[in-house]
């Protein structure tokens, strides 16, 4: 069985044919015992060219509808190729504010 990070990566590749993709498991930065509960996505795809940011996020939420019952947090950074060329980086994730990690 593949892990959640691998699964998310494969699904995004299939659905969006991204020119750049990072699926980062950030669970270790958060309290609790779940090892696959917090993820950060950086997705650059021409599919996003005519979509507003909210539409891009809705698309990914629909894509991972079933998976979201197992994921506590999913940070989505979605860019067109032109947007990515200007930014070339995604923002850092915020520090965990709960539990024992800080």
Contacts of 6 (CB under 8 A, 6+ apart): none
Average pLDDT of adjacent 10-residue blocks, the chain of 102 residues? 87 98 81 70 97 98 93 92 88 58 42
Q: What is the CATH number of domain 4-87?
A: 3.30.300.90
Pair 44, 81: CB distance under 8 Å: yes
Q: Are strands 38-44 and 73-79 parallel, antiparallel or unpaired?
A: parallel
- Measured between alpha carbons, how far is 55 from 97 in angstroms, rounded to an integer? 28
Q: Outline where the chain has alpha helix (H).
A: 4-16, 53-63, 81-87
Write down the domain spans for the chain.
4-87
pTM metric for this prediction: 0.81
Give the pLDDT of residue 100. 45
Looking at residue 65, its pLDDT comes to 95
């Amino acid at each position: 069985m593949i892990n959640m990070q691998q699964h998310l990566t494969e699904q995004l590749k299939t659905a969006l044919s991204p020119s750049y993709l990072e699926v980062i498991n950030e669970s270790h930065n958060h309290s609790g015992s779940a090892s696959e509960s917090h993820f950060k996505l950086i997705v650059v795809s021409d599919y996003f060219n005519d979509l507003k940011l909210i539409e891009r996020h809705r698309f990914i939420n629909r894509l991972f509808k079933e998976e979201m019952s197992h994921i506590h947090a999913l940070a989505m950074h979605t860019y067109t190729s032109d947007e990515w060329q200007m930014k070339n980086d995604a923002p850092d994730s915020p520090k965990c504010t709960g539990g024992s990690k800080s």
